[in-house]
Amino acid sequence: MGDEKETAAGAQGGCLCGAIRYRVTHPIEKLILCHCTDCQKSSATGASVNAVIPSERFEIVKGAPKIFSKVVDSGNTLHRAFCGDCGSPVFTRRDNAPQVTVLKVGTLDAPIGMKIAMNIWTSSARPWMHIDATLENHPKGRPMPPATPPA
């Protein structure tokens, strides 16, 4: 049961070979499946399983990931961080939202209590991927929350 407490308060993870290790000090519960063609290619799967967390709550504690940057279908520049030794994708960040880190949850040590909550870029999903109609689904990227006016 210690893993559940760790996941509720934060989590640790890393790449396949252990060269990259990180710590997250933010609860992770809801996951997003991204079906864009870039995520399909970078993960070599039908979708990337992600958790959106505040960048200030994510810390690399060992190693230094390599970065591959590309303008993606949304028009944003996406920076993909991965292990230069084993190739594991670890996280992404966008130029237009550096305050947000998109964690590749397959790299977590103990992904307990997390559930898929949303599918994005379903318009480019592989025909063999199951899209759960009971979830929030978007043919393109996820809608951004409305900006709150300054107080």
pLDDT per residue as tens, the chain (151 positions): 344 434 445 799 999 999 999 999 998 888 998 898 888 888 888 888 999 999 999 999 999 999 999 998 778 899 999 999 999 999 999 998 899 999 999 999 987 888 888 888 888 889 899 998 998 888 888 766 554 444 4
* Residue-level pLDDT at 106: 92
* Residue-level pLDDT at 146: 52
* Residue-level pLDDT at 1: 37
Token pair in block for residue 105: 């949850």
pTM of the model: 0.81
The H-or-E segment that residue 98 falls in is strand 97-104
Alpha-carbon dihedral sign for residues 103, 107, 113, 116:
positive
